[in-house]
Amino acid sequence: MKVTRTLPFRPRCHLLPARLAGLSIALLKATALELAILAGHLLLYPSGILPERRHPGALPLLSSQDAALTPAELAELNGLGDHAGHTDHAAHAAHAAHATHSTQVDHAQPPTLPHKATHDATHDASPDTTRNATPDAPAELKGMGGLADAPRLPAPEKPPVLLLHGFIDNRSIFVLLRRSLAQHGRQQIESLNYSPLTCDIRTAAALLGRHVEELCERTGQERIDIVGHSLGGLIARYYVQCLGGDQRVRMLVTLGTPHAGTRVAPLADAHPIVRQMRPGSSVVEELKRPAPGCRTRFVSFWSDLDQLMVPLETACVDHADLLAQNVRVTGIGHLALPVHPAVATGIRQALDADPTREGAHAADSVGGLTVA
């Protein structure tokens, strides 16, 4: 038999409308990714059953003597250490940076330094530095020539980040997100495991409140950031909105959290905490109550392929009194939200955002994130 023509293989989705076919392909990709993540998570799950070890110490990059100082005192010591001799910071500074820094201190403070040190610094400074320096300018900005060599003041420390997992899960779901945050400057990251036998969101929120207080006391910080996945975000919101947690939580980032309740899996109502995640439950109704003066900023990441959120918009924060931003994620499902690198980048950007620039209009802003 002679083959004269070969028909190209075409998937059956070409018989569907273009939009529906594209959705089907995206759904298949998202489902395959969900299954791969689930398989990997099952392997990591045992490693997250036990609570993580707590590492004492508020400021890991500073000495024990500096840990008790305020940021203003640290800045003052950094500016005066090269001639006062009370700290070890100036002892390790380079000679060229020391000379330039001495010129800047002369402009900012009364002339109490020895004459020789002042003469040497003036001789070593570049013409651009001495010409552009003005007494009224901050010391670290005087002269572009000395800017690169001047010792840098310690950057403002970022708040600790607390990670809160979802229903029947543990802290192992945050392995990749935690690594991403640590690689980009977050030094204090902790995870909280609540019992899979927890039957009440209010009880879990009270436990979260005690842990937050302990974390603030141990790190010396007044406020922290929380990232909650699924049920973890709902527990954190209840703590912030109903238990006064807005005094301690600067920002709450939720990932696939049923803020308005979800109708998925009706047969799962046998579990009490699942019933509390239903639309119209007592917990959901409490979260709808007015919350004037809530200080916490909310950023909610929700996916258009999240099969556990029914309807999909239930994962958005919709409250008149809350300063919230809802970010739509396209192309991934529920389990991929705390795992996907693009979402991790969005979380970092949200945590690092300047709240003074967001203003009161952040509640009306809606972002978008396409990852697949």
- pTM above 0.75? no
Q: Name the residue type at position 127.
A: P
Residue 23 confidence (pLDDT) above 80: no
What pLDDT, in 10s, does the model give residues 239-251? 999 999 999 999 9
What pLDDT, in 10s, does the model give residues 294-340? 999 999 999 999 999 999 999 999 999 999 999 999 999 999 999 99
49, 73, 109, 153, 317 from 101: Cα distances, Å: 51, 18, 12, 12, 49
Identify the top-confidence range among 90-94, 153-157, 166-170. Answer: 166-170
For residue 133, what pLDDT is reported?
Answer: 40
Residue 369 confidence (pLDDT) above 80: no
Token pair belonging to 227? 């990232």
Q: In the structure, what pLDDT confidence band is assigned to residue 140 with cuts at 50, 70 and 90?
A: very low
Question: What residues does each domain of the chain span?
Answer: 24-48+157-370, 70-141
For residue 17, what pLDDT is reported?
Answer: 55
Cα atoms found within 13 Å of the Cα of residue 112, Cβ hemisphere only: 7
Please tell me the distance from the alpha carbon of residue 367 to that of residue 326, in angstroms, as a whole number: 6
Q: What integer is the mean pLDDT of 163-186?
A: 95
For residue 346, what pLDDT is reported?
Answer: 96
Q: What integer is the mean pLDDT of 96-110?
A: 41
Where do we find the tokens 């759904």?
A: 27
Residues 6+ apart with CB under 8 A from 205: 235, 236, 238, 239, 242, 243, 245
Concatenating the DSSP letter of every residue in 294-342 gives ---EEEEEEETT-TTSSSGGGGS---TTSEEEEEEEES--TTTTTT-HH
Residue 14 confidence (pLDDT) above 80: no
Question: What CATH code would you report for 24-48+157-370?
Answer: 3.40.50.1820
Cβ pair 129, 100 in contact under 8 A:
yes
Q: In the structure, what pLDDT confidence band is assigned to residue 73 with cuts at 50, 70 and 90?
A: low
Residue 146 confidence (pLDDT) above 90: no
Higher pLDDT, 187 or 87: 187
Please tell me the distance from the alpha carbon of residue 35 to that of residue 33, in angstroms, as a whole number: 5
Please tell me the distance from the alpha carbon of residue 235 to that of residue 370, in angstroms, as a whole number: 27
201, 218, 301 from 329: Cα distances, Å: 26, 35, 7
Token pair belonging to 298? 């909310």
For residue 70, what pLDDT is reported?
Answer: 53
Please tell me the distance from the alpha carbon of residue 313 to that of residue 123, in angstroms, as a whole number: 66
| Beta strands across the sheet bearing 249-255 | 189-192, 161-164, 224-229, 249-255, 297-303, 323-330, 366-370
Please tell me the distance from the alpha carbon of residue 134 to that of residue 123, in angstroms, as a whole number: 17
Higher pLDDT, 333 or 72: 333
Backbone angles phi, psi at 79, to 5 degrees: -80, -25
Please tell me the distance from the alpha carbon of residue 100 to that of residue 126, in angstroms, as a whole number: 9
